[in-house]
Structure 1
Amino acid sequence: MAVSLPDGATIAIATTYGSVKTVTAITNANPGVITSAAHGLLNGAFYELKSGWQKISDRVFKASNVATNALDVTGIDTTDTNRFAAGTGVGSLREITAWTQIPQILEFTTSGGDQQFANFSFLEEDYERQLPTVTSAQSIQIGIGDDPSLPGYQALKAAGEARAIRALKVTLPNGAVLLYNGFVSFNETPTLTKGSVMQVRATISLQGRPTRY
């Protein structure tokens, strides 16, 4: 059993990406192994993956076991061919080559991600049953101390104006890393509450499950 505080965590947004590399195959293995000719990534690099396997598509991963034309989908078990149909995981990847830290964060909260259910009842029954369906859409809300001169502020503003999908990296005090990927929206109007720090708010609407290392 262990608990920890988030104090000291840092958050950064991806601001530069490498060129798109074709993924010609992903194996059914633990972890899955990507084939991508001359992908150029090094061990420890972060990359965004798009795949025919929707369960891993539009997510961000950390490169490991890197070879010239291959690398692992670190932490992802793709052995189940019912969930990951053989030969259909092809797609593309692109390396995240630069991050910009978002300083002065006052709040970091999430919403959504709750399991949804389909309710049903047989004719002869006087009670309902449930089957799990999907989880609800998930988003992250970040409250930031208002300062338009900061590079992190400008990076969020640019991503919001472009309506772009951007990766978000949270580095916890113990060195663990959380990776998110989603559309960025940014509200530049600061809160104006007497006696409270003015803050602006960014929202990241996630396009896939987070990844944790």
Structure 2
Amino acid sequence: MAQVTKWSGVAVAVQSALATALVVTAISKASTGVVSYTGTDPSNGAFVLIKAEGMHQVDNRVFRIANVNGAGDTFELEGENTTGYDTFLSGTAEVITFGINAATFTGVTASGGDFEFIDITTIHDNVRKQIPNVASPATYAFESLWDPADPGLAALKEASDNQSQRAFRLAFQNGYKLVGTGYIGATLLPTGNAQDKVVTSVVITLFGRPTLYTT
């Protein structure tokens, strides 16, 4: 039987800082991708934002670090199979500090990630044929209690006002985690219904694909 995951006890954390960027010199094509870098050694279990040219499959994605080899200046992208990915050319890695806690969310919906399609129908076909093109960005929309004095909401509004990307992490009670990075939309405009709680919306539009972990 599949494990049931509940929207209860979910911790939502948002990036408060990025460490000085490590220069990435290579990312292997392997069952677990290995990153070669120059700079200060990161720690096992840390989350890192990868920006990459060439290997677009890892560009602007958040990964958890494993098996740091300080002597060899390498670490693994935990669980990421890069065997079929494009060839890495250049990039950086920035260790993320998740110092902002969002504790006012009451609901969440997800959308996007669906493909645009290219029509390849020929004059010989009786049914149209299509192949997938690029996907639309995934989006998370959170309903939140309206509290402009809340430090988490204030930090999200600041990111929104500055049109800044922020990494985020959803951590579920069963250990599952979803991480990614995106643009924050948080005007903190109040809305709601008569005799009901005042709420506002926070939207994260991903800039790159999310990454899932089961531990």
With structure 2 as the length reference, what TM-score do the two structures score? Answer: 0.91
Question: How much identity, in percent, do the aligned residues show?
Answer: 29
Query: For 1:63-212, what aligned pairs fall within 5 Å after superposition?
Result: 63-68=65-70, 69-80=73-84, 83-85=85-87, 88-212=88-212
Q: CA deviation at 1:181?
A: 0.6
How far, CA to CA, are the matches of 2:157 and 2:47 in structure 1? 23
Shift of 1:119: 2.7
Q: The residue matched to 1:64 in structure 2 has which SS?
A: strand
| Helix, strand or coil at the partner of 1:160 | helix
What is the alpha-carbon root mean square deviation over aligned residues? 1.4
The runs of 5 or more residues in structure 1 that have no matched partner are none
In structure 2, C-alpha distance between the alignment counterparts of 1:13 and 1:206, rounded to whole Å: 13
Structure 1 position 134, deviation (Å): 2.4
Aligned to 1:44: 45
Q: Distance in 1 between matches of 2:89 and 2:140?
A: 28
1:58 equivalent in structure 2: 60
- Report the alpha carbon displacement of residue 97 of structure 1 after superposing the two structures with TM: 2.3
Gaps in structure 2 of 5+ consecutive residues: none
**Structure 2 counterpart of 1:114, which letter?**
D
- C-alpha displacement of 1:89: 4.1
Q: Flag the 1:61–1:132 CA change in 2: closer, same or farther, 3 A.
A: same
Q: Distance in 2 between matches of 1:125 and 1:192?
A: 52
Aligned residues: 209
The two structures have a TM-score, normalised by structure 1, of: 0.92
**Paired residue for 1:27?**
28
Q: 1: distance between equivalents of 2:186 and 2:212? A: 25
Q: Contact 2:113–2:137 (CA<8 Å) still a contact in 1?
A: yes
Which of 102-111 and 116-125 deviates more?
Answer: 116-125
1:178 shift after superposition: 0.5
Deviations 1:151-170 (A, max 9, x none): 11111011111111100100
SS of equivalent to 1:66: strand
Q: Is the 8 A contact 1:34 1:71 kept in 2?
A: yes
C-alpha separation in 2, matches of 1:179 and 1:190: 28
**1:61 alignment partner AA:** F
Q: Which amino acid aligns with 1:45?
A: A
Q: Tell me which amino acid in the other structure corresponds to 2:190.
A: P
